[in-house]
Chains A and B, each alone.
Chain A
Amino acid sequence: MTAMSFVYLAAILFAIGAAAVLLRRNAIVAFMGVELMLNAANLVLVAFSRMYGELDGQIMAFFVMVVAAAEVVVGLAIIIALFRARQTISLDEPAELKG
């Protein structure tokens, strides 16, 4: 069992996260799908770091985490603002992007 197995695992998690973004109407849930995708990427970075015996992968994963934290803060703020404006966080409601 090598670190490669974790890469497979990460691929599965990434696909699940992507499916969540597509299928869930609740903005918070879709957002959690995005988080899962980020974490899957992190797992790949750490696994490769392990495989190559370099620490840079971990550093990258760390940066991803920091950026994800910042992104979560802003994203959740946007969700709250959306909720205040529309009394809902359903992704189907703000159909103002309609052409």
Chain B
Amino acid sequence: MQSLIWLAIAIPLASAAFLLVAGKRADAWGHWVGVVASSAAFLVGAGALLEMLGQDAANRATTLTLWEFIPGSDLNVNVGLLVDPLSITFVMLITFVGTLIHFYSVAYMEHDVARRRFFAYLNLFIAAMLLLVLADSYLLLFFGWEGVGLASYLLIGFWNHRNEYATAANKAFVVNRIGDIGLIIAMGMMFAAFGAVDFTTVFAEAPEASTATLTAIGLALLLAACGKSAQFPLQSWLGDAMAGPTPVSALIHAATMVTAGVYLIVRSAPIFNGAPNAQLVVAVVGAITLLLGAFIGMAKDDIKKALAASTMSQIGYMMLAAGLGPIGYAFAIFHLLTHGFFKAGMFLGAGSVMHAMNDQVDMRRFGALRGVMVITWVTFGLGWLAILGIPPFSGYWSKDKIIEAAFVGEGWQPWVLGGAALIGAGLTAFYMSRLFFMTFHGKARWTDDVHPHESSPLMTVPMIVLAVGSAFLGLFMATGDRFTHFLEPVTGHAEHHDPVIPIPVIIALTLALVIVGAAVAWMKYGRADVPETAPAGSLATITARNDFFQDGVNRAVFQRPGQHLTRTLVYADAAIVDGAVNKQAHGWARLGEASRKLQTGQVRSYAATMLVGVVLIALIIVVGGL
């Protein structure tokens, strides 16, 4: 099946194209085409995985060259797919969760007139995301990168008749472009340094390159990753991206696309291994984002935005792990995988809740949904336990490893990074519990017109599947370090280092913090009454509620100076560059106007001109003695 892996990309792509051009006659059944296409991609991926598992660990990377993309020049790029443990992991995550969400969307989008278009975009996303993870060169990866950006833009703005949704889509698009510039710059530097942009050549030559080059490339890649994965300082778009339909938030803005930055960093491991400073920056960015996201998550009342902040925070964990080097790569991907399951499950649960509550998102008007939505409550609860890191649920196995790895090292780094990860765990416990209790426990604070009910099986079954994954995937993968060994051909073998604090102490501390966080949340939001309108709150609350004023900061730090710079440049361009050209052109035009006056149309004037010219020339010849 590995040689047929291109089908996994081609089928959803063809389905997307078909759904877009099929028109209204496909409205009744078009969504099933999308579901089938996504399922087919999953089957292809599963076949490839099985084939890979049958091979030796050393031979698990297969490159499949499809055709020459840019032949013959200095830059020789083939369109090729790389199937190795890392990419197949992503393929499985994307197609499995994607297919579940396709099923879920059939019910969720049932009453939307543009359901066919929605599935076309979803399929386009699946195809682009698979292209991103399967590409064997940065250039092809960039195509997938832009493709998921496009699909994300289209899906965030899916209800673009609402002005603020369209604005949110634009915001995501623009912020992502900043990251894309980083990727383009990185590719340019790779071409300059190695003369190629395919993984094989670049990774083979990376160890010989200078640290400065690798650091520069690494930082450019980090910029790209920050844009795509909503990491500090390019995190501002993710909260607004919740404008898209909830399945989109689950698939793109929780499980898959936003983790593409982590994939990029892990995939570029040979580059980062040679650039410790870049790695440190990655880890610091991850640490900042995980705390930032956690703080924002604690203050949000909008269930989707709280989940988005949580996503940001969890990806911060992954970035932190990716920045730790070989000991963290596998855990980053591991956490990515488990996070993909439990966060997608929780988003689907949130969608189910919204479905029941007439699309309301304010958690202060939820409460006591445990009784009416049992399946949602149970599945969401499993996701909640997973993200909290309670053993033996999935999150424990991945997040705890990251915290342990963060404490490895020398000097101030383990204390700062590990401390951030540890505090983050406690904060996560608080805000996720707050979300969970506010939604499902306490008193019913419903608005009068809602009549909550459990969702249809088409929606609950995917949630159940994901909840099972949230519960047991981590245990399955972590047993005997199964997943770490699986990824070892890509991420490299990590030497075992002892953290600065003994591992049992770390585990105990983490669990203690988690329990404290959850308990505080229970006290404040589970047992106590939750006001139906948000209290004024302290300065810290307001700051977090407003996403640390990220938009204002962006506006003041980037947008305004950027605008001024642009205006100055435009002015300079108009005045100096254009000015010179235009002045010259005006001069010629005026000369033309002047000489047009000479063109009177009078034959005799022409004759006079000729004669005067003859006399002048003769005069010059005679007087000048030529």
Interface residues of A (CB under 8 A from B): 18, 21-23, 25, 30, 91-92, 94-99
Contact of B606 with A by CB under 8 A: yes
- B598 cross-chain contacts in A, Cβ below 8 A: 99
A95 touches B596 (CB 8 A): no
Contact check, B600 vs A91: say whether CB atoms are below 8 A apart: no
Contact A97 B606 (CB under 8 A): yes
* Chain A residues, CB < 8 A from B603: 91-92, 94, 97
With beta carbons under 8 angstroms apart, the residue of A21, A30, A95 that contacts B601 is: A95
Kindly list chain A residues whose C-beta atoms are within 8 Å of the C-beta of B611: 18, 21-22
Within the complex, the shortest CB–CB distance from B93 to chain A, in Å, comes to 74
**Given known A18-B611, A22-B611, contact A99–B601 (CB-CB < 8 A):** yes
The reply to whether A97 and B599 contact each other, CB–CB distance below 8 Å, is yes
Ranked 9 nearest A-B pairs via Cβ: A99-B599, A98-B601, A95-B601, A97-B601, A91-B603, A99-B596, A22-B608, A21-B607, A22-B607
Can you list 5 A-B pairs with a CB-CB distance of less than 8 A?
A21-B607, A22-B608, A95-B602, A97-B601, A97-B606
Interface string of B561-601 (1 = CB under 8 A from A): 00000000000000000000000000000000000101111
Which of B601, B602, B603 is the most central at the interface, judged by chain A CB atoms within 10 Å of its CB? Answer: B603
Q: Which residues of the partner chain A approach B608 to less than 8 Å between Cβ atoms?
A: 22
Cβ of B604 under 8 Å from chain A: yes
How far, in angstroms, from A8 to B598 measured CA to CA in the complex?
Answer: 34
> When chains A and B are docked, how far (Å) is the Cα of A23 from the Cα of B603?
11
CB–CB A25/B596 < 8 A: no
Instruction: Find chain B residues with CB under 8 A from A23 CB.
Output: 604
Cα distance A97–B605 when bound, in Å?
A: 11
Assembly CA distance A34 to B228 (angstroms): 85
Give the Cβ gap from A10 to chain B, nearest Cβ, in Å: 16
**A91 touching B599, Cβ below 8 Å:** no
Residue of B596, B601, B604 near A96 (CB, 8 A) is B601
> What's the Cα separation between A97 and B606 when bound, in Å?
10
Bound state CA distance, A63 and B606, in angstroms?
A: 28
Which of B600, B601, B604, B606 has a CB less than 8 Å from the CB of A25?
Answer: B604
In the complex, how many angstroms separate the beta carbon of A14 from the nearest chain B beta carbon?
Answer: 11
Pairwise interchain contact B604-A98, C-beta atoms closer than 8 A: no
B599 contacts A92, C-beta separation under 8 Å: no
Chain A nearest CB from B607 CB (Å) reads 6
**What's the least CB distance linking B366 to chain A, in Å?**
81
A96: nearest residue on chain B (CB-CB)? B601
**CB-nearest residue of chain A relative to B601?**
A98
* Chain A residue contacts of B606, Cβ below 8 A: 97
Q: CA A18 – CA B608 in complex, angstroms?
A: 9
For the complex, give the distance between the alpha carbons of A99 and B606 in Å: 12
CA distance A28 to B306 in the complex (A): 99
What sequence of 0s and 1s flags, for each residue 36-59 of chain B, a beta carbon within 8 Å of any chain A beta carbon? 000000000000000000000000
- Give bound CA distance, A30 to B80, whole Å: 83
Please determine whether B600 and A95 come into contact, CB atoms closer than 8 angstroms: yes
Task: Name the B residues within 8 Å of A91 (CB-CB).
Answer: 602-604
Residue of B nearest to A18 (CB): B611
- Per-residue CB contact flags for chain B residues 388-410 toward chain A (1 = under 8 Å, else 0) read 00000000000000000000000
Determine if B599 and A98 form an interchain contact, defined as CB atoms under 8 angstroms apart: yes
**Nearest CB in chain A: distance from B194 CB, A:** 62
**Residues of B with C-beta under 8 A to A25:** 604
- A30 to chain B: closest CB distance in Å? 8
Cα separation A30 to B607 with both chains bound (whole Å):
11
CA–CA, A89 and B599, complex, Å = 21
In the assembled complex, which residues on chain B have CB atoms less than 8 Å from the CB atom of A96? 601
Q: How far is the CA of A97 from the CA of B604 in the complex (A)?
A: 11
In Å, the complex CA distance between A96 and B604 comes to 13
Q: Is there contact, CB below 8 Å, between B604 and A22?
A: yes
Q: In the docked arrangement, what's the CA distance between A94 and B606, Å?
A: 13
Q: Is the CB of B602 within 8 A of A92?
A: yes
- Nearest CB on B from A27, distance (A): 9
- Inter-chain contacts of A21 with B (CB < 8 A): 604, 607, 611
Q: For A99, what are the chain B residues with a Cβ–Cβ distance below 8 Å?
A: 596, 598-601
Q: Which residues of A contact B599 (CB under 8 A)?
A: 97-99
Q: Which residues of A contact B596 (CB under 8 A)?
A: 99
Q: Once the chains are docked, how many angstroms separate the CA of A35 from the CA of B599?
A: 27
Q: What residues of chain B lie closer than 8 Å to A22, measured between beta carbons?
A: 604, 607-608, 611
**Complexed CA–CA distance, A25 and B603 (Å):** 9
Contact (Cβ within 8 A) B607 A98? no
Complex Cα spacing A89 to B611, Å: 22
Task: Give min CB distance, B597 to chain A, whole Å.
Answer: 8
Interfacial chain A residues near B604, Cβ < 8 Å = 21-23, 25, 30, 91-92
Interface centre among A22, A25, A94, A95 (most CB of B within 10 A): A22
| CB-based nearest B residue for A98 | B601
Question: Which chain B residues border A95 with CB–CB below 8 Å?
Answer: 600-602
Minimum Cβ distance to chain B for residue A98 (Å) = 3
> Contact string, B49-93, partner A, CB cutoff 8 A, digits 1/0?
000000000000000000000000000000000000000000000
Distance of A18 Cα from B609 Cα, bound (Å): 12
Residues of chain A within 8 A (CB-CB) of B607 are 21-22
Of chain A, the residue at the smallest CB distance from B606 is A97
Given contacts A92-B603, A99-B596, 5 further A-B contacts (CB under 8 A): A92-B604, A94-B601, A96-B601, A98-B601, A99-B600
The CA-CA distance from A18 to B398 in the complex, in Å, is 105
Cα distance, A90 to B422, chains bound together (Å) = 104
B569 to chain A, nearest CB (A): 40
B-chain residues with CB within 8 Å of residue A94 when the two chains form the complex:
601, 603
A96–B599 alpha-carbon span in the complex (Å): 10
> Complex: how many Å from CA A14 to CA B56?
108
Within the assembled complex, what's the spacing in Å between the Cα atoms of A92 and B604?
8
User: B residues 160-194 with Cβ under 8 Å of A?
Assistant: none
| Closest CB in chain B relative to A20 CB, distance in Å | 11
CA gap between A22 and B606 in the complex, in Å: 9
Distance in Å from the Cβ of B602 to the closest Cβ of chain A? 6
What separation, in Å, do the CA atoms of A23 and B599 have in the docked complex?
18
Nearest Cβ in chain B — how far from A91, in angstroms?
5
CB distance from A48 to the nearest CB of B (A): 19
CA distance A89 to B26 in the complex (A): 79
**A13 → chain B, closest Cβ, in Å?**
15
**Minimum CB–CB distance for B228 against chain A, Å:** 61
Expressed in whole angstroms, the minimum distance between the Cβ of B609 and any Cβ of chain A is 10
* A49-B555 Cα distance, complex, nearest whole Å: 95
Alpha-carbon distance between A91 and B602 when the two chains are bound, in angstroms = 7
Residue of A nearest to B595 (CB): A99
